[in-house]
Amino acid sequence: MKTEKINDQKFMSLALKLAKKSNPSPNPRVGAIIVKDGKIIGKGYHKAAGEAHAEVVAINSVRDKNELKNAILYVTLEPCSHYGRQPPCTDAIISAGIKNVIIGCEDQNPKVEGIEKLKQAGCDVKMLNDQECHELNEAFFNWIKTGKPFVMLKLAMTLDGRIATKTGDSKYISNSQSRALSYAWRDNFDGIMVGIKTVLVDNPRLTSRAPGAANPTRIIVDSKLRIPLTSQVLEQNARRIIATTDKYDKEKKKQLESLGVEILVLKEEKTYYVDLKQLFDELGKRNIISLMVEGGAELATALLEQKLINKAAFFIAAKILGSGKNAFDGSGVERMDDALQLKNVSIRKLGEDVLVMGYF
């Protein structure tokens, strides 16, 4: 049994590596491995929405289909059992004659009843409940349940909780290792969001740094459309969305739309000018299922106070400024018992920086 468990972990890890090769949003990321007599005979992953699913790609990669009889299928996510843009994967598995299916985690989509359908067809199904398999699709699961994007707040701060000096200088708080990791994360998110002050002060590009990778959608929260037309974030190499209110500059709106920028006119909200809950509803409708928020303090504070953050990543540099811009600048709580507590916390050292991650 111990050897069997080790083999299951080994092959599921390989399937996970395949799943991470693409981000087929709004579909989940899935990888599959087919094993016969301890050897891999087929493999595949879901490359893009509308294309063949991982299980079907893996089955089709096996030249001799007779090899599929009594083979073991390792798949990171419960196979689908319903018709979408592709037929059910359960049908392909059953038709191929695969009798042993080992699944990384259960699909949270209520339409999916893959485990039950496979069992009814006489398949031996084992569920690993693998945490990494679940985390890989945490954004998809959240979107399926709520219709809203999964939000991760990323902040770089000093030991005394500052994200910029008193003059506004923030380059760079974190070290090169931390920045490289945060840039790499961009490929895993559908959108990157910042407030207008971050655009005005830092003039970021918010691009992917991986060669050949598509840039994420850029989302700017700008209640009056103060964004300069020359801002790097407006470069036409990605989808661009600006969330504003009815106080927007009408001439600027026309100019931005002529550049292909999508303008969302939302309700005005007292605590942060733009109604962020309405914004997330609109982004979810547009199939943006995952969002990384990179700045700044006002936006971070509004998200925190309205409990709109699912996950947080804090890069903490071993530096002390003594004054400057606070990471959060809201009204706060009066009692320690009321403090927001991160859960499932992980801590990682990156040179002299420390990365603290957790869930709300």
Known catalytic residues are 55
- Give CA–CA dist 2/8, Å, rounded: 10
* Alpha-helical segments (H) within the chain: 2-19, 54-60, 89-96, 114-120, 131-136, 138-146, 176-185, 196-202, 250-258, 276-285, 297-305
- The closest alpha carbon to 130, from 111, 104, 92, belongs to 104
For residue 288, what are the β-bridge partners? Answer: none
- Give CA–CA dist 38/59, Å, rounded: 17
Contact 258, 281 (CB under 8 A): no
Decide: helix, strand or coil at residue 128: coil
Phi-psi region at 333: left, alpha or beta (left = phi > 0; alpha = psi -120 to 50): beta
- Give CA–CA dist 79/353, Å, rounded: 40
- Give CA–CA dist 31/192, Å, rounded: 25
- Give CA–CA dist 272/338, Å, rounded: 22
- Give CA–CA dist 163/103, Å, rounded: 42
CB neighbours of residue 322 within 10 Å: 9
Q: Which two tokens stand for residue 29?
A: 């990321």
Query: Positive or negative CA dihedral for 299, 305, 309, 311?
Result: positive
The enclosing H or E element of 150 equals: strand 150-157
Query: Positive or negative CA dihedral for 56, 58, 62, 65?
Result: negative
**Measuring CA to CA, how many Å separate 184 from each of 13, 24, 137?**
20, 17, 17
DSSP 333-359: -SSGGGS---EEEEEEEETTEEEEEEE
DSSP label at 197? H
